[in-house]
Chain A
Amino acid sequence: MAKKIKVATTSLAGCFGCHMSFLDIDERILQLAEVAEFDRSPLTDIKHCGDIVDIGLVEGGLCNAENVHTLREFRKHCRTLVAVGACAINGGLPAMRNHIALEECLAEAYLQGVGVDNPHIPNDPELPLLLDRVHPIHEVVKVDYFLPGCPPSADVFWKFLTDLVSGREPSLSYELVHYD
């Protein structure tokens, strides 16, 4: 049997909607499992790529320092890196905070927000520092492919992965390209 290709996934500043949509390939995941195996992924709960993986899927943009660190490490371990979904591609809805000063955002959420109890801005050293703006991932690492959508449909994942696994240049037809 041919060696299985390794797929890794990660979620940065996203909502896990893209991962959920990926799982919407439903029973086709059995076909995928015949040719591919998951490495690092929230689906396997493996935290770091074991070695070099063939395909890395990134959901979410960059909203804090940990996202940047995770992305850079992930990129180093992936032969092919794929930006999955609106947040990875253009920052998505988290980037709607970009025209508001970070201090104002934090004040609204933790000091002045409706129903806030014991108002203070969280400052535990364990918490990753927020970036002053949310960024798409291509501004930090080289991205090989983009799968737009909020989320991309299961058919987008399926078409892309089957193209790539079969050695075809991945292409998405009109019906598969949408930004919402």
Chain B
Amino acid sequence: MTTNPTITIDGKTVPFREGETLMEAATRAGIYIPHLCHNPEFTPHGSCKLCTVQVNGRNCRACTFPADVGQTVLNDTQELNDTRRTITQMLFVEGNHFCPSCEKSGNCDLQGAAYFLNMLDGHFPYFYPSRQMDASHPDVLLDRDRCIFCELCVRASREVDGKNVFGIAGRGIGNRLVVNSSSGLLKDSELDAGDKATQVCPVGAIIVKHHGFEVPIGERIYDGKPIDEVSLAKEMAMGEGENG
């Protein structure tokens, strides 16, 4: 009989399967590692850095780092959560995140992560970047102000919808989500409201129209439950589904 290989996360022994990432092993064990660009349905991207954990003394991204025998992982520590809060603050100041006027408020993962990390301010000077909104599509709104460049829509459109509608162009503060169509507008792309790419945005950058503010304040996802509970419940259920 062979025993499953294990790692430890915050002192807890966690089994892993060959080829699994730290994020996958942790999720299966019911351990929440904060993340935004990670979604178990898609190829890991490793861009938001929120899932930074310490593996044998070095910082790594849990969503892309393979689990291996002998790893001692630190996750829920004051230092790492301070770092994650700083990363989240950077995400807020680099975009235009005006929660009071956003349809996604209360259901937004960026906001949920910030609440979880007890982020009370942006700390850094705000950039207020100038970004173009695209309201051309009859059923889908693209509000670039809220984009955090997680590329979940890019991956969903490519990997699931088979359409390749979205991409990221530019560098640094000039980074922007671009649309693959002759005019560069969403209305001339192949995007449909039912596409996976419209369902995965963790913020309010891609919004399916005609559904704004359907859920009243107090009943939205993160009004009652913190993101660790919400995320684990969702992603552990997805994992169980995969394993039959």
Assess whether B75 is interfacial by the CB under 8 Å rule.
no
Which of the residues B96, B102, B111 comes within 8 Å of A99, measured between beta carbons? B96
Q: Provided the pairs A136-B126, A179-B111, A180-B106 are in contact, do residues A89 and B99 lie with their beta carbons within 8 angstroms?
A: no
A interface residues, tally (CB under 8 Å): 28
CB neighbours (8 Å) of A96 from chain B are: 96, 98, 101
Assess whether B238 is interfacial by the CB under 8 Å rule.
no
Which of the residues B99, B116, B126, B129 comes within 8 Å of A179, measured between beta carbons? B99
Assess whether A4 is interfacial by the CB under 8 Å rule.
no
Q: Provided the pairs A174-B226, A177-B115, A180-B106 are in contact, do residues A92 and B100 lie with their beta carbons within 8 angstroms?
A: yes
Q: Flag if B121 contacts A146 (CB, 8 Å).
A: yes
Q: Provided the pairs A93-B101, A179-B99, A179-B105 are in contact, do residues A98 and B128 lie with their beta carbons within 8 angstroms?
A: yes
CB neighbours (8 Å) of B121 from chain A are: 83, 89-90, 138, 143, 146, 148
Assess whether A135 is interfacial by the CB under 8 Å rule.
yes
Interface size band for B: 20 to 34
Assess whether B217 is interfacial by the CB under 8 Å rule.
yes
| CB closest residue in chain A, given B222 | A178
Q: Flag if B101 contacts A99 (CB, 8 Å).
A: no
Assess whether A91 is interfacial by the CB under 8 Å rule.
yes
Assess whether B187 is interfacial by the CB under 8 Å rule.
no
| A145-180 contact mask (Cβ, 8 Å, vs B): 1 or 0 | 111101000000000000000000000101001111
Q: Flag if B126 contacts A180 (CB, 8 Å).
A: no
Q: Can you pick out 27 interface pairs between chain A and chain B where the beta carbons lie within 8 Å of each other?
A: A86-B99, A86-B100, A89-B120, A89-B121, A90-B92, A90-B126, A93-B98, A93-B101, A95-B96, A95-B128, A96-B96, A99-B128, A99-B130, A133-B128, A139-B125, A145-B120, A150-B99, A172-B118, A172-B120, A174-B116, A174-B226, A177-B119, A178-B115, A178-B223, A179-B100, A180-B99, A180-B102
**A→B interface (CB under 8 Å):** 83, 86, 89-93, 95-96, 98-99, 133, 135-136, 138-139, 143, 145-148, 150, 172, 174, 177-180
List 13 additional contacts besides A95-B126, A95-B128, A148-B120; criterion CB under 8 Å: A86-B98, A90-B98, A92-B98, A93-B100, A95-B98, A98-B128, A99-B131, A138-B123, A143-B121, A146-B120, A146-B121, A179-B99, A180-B106
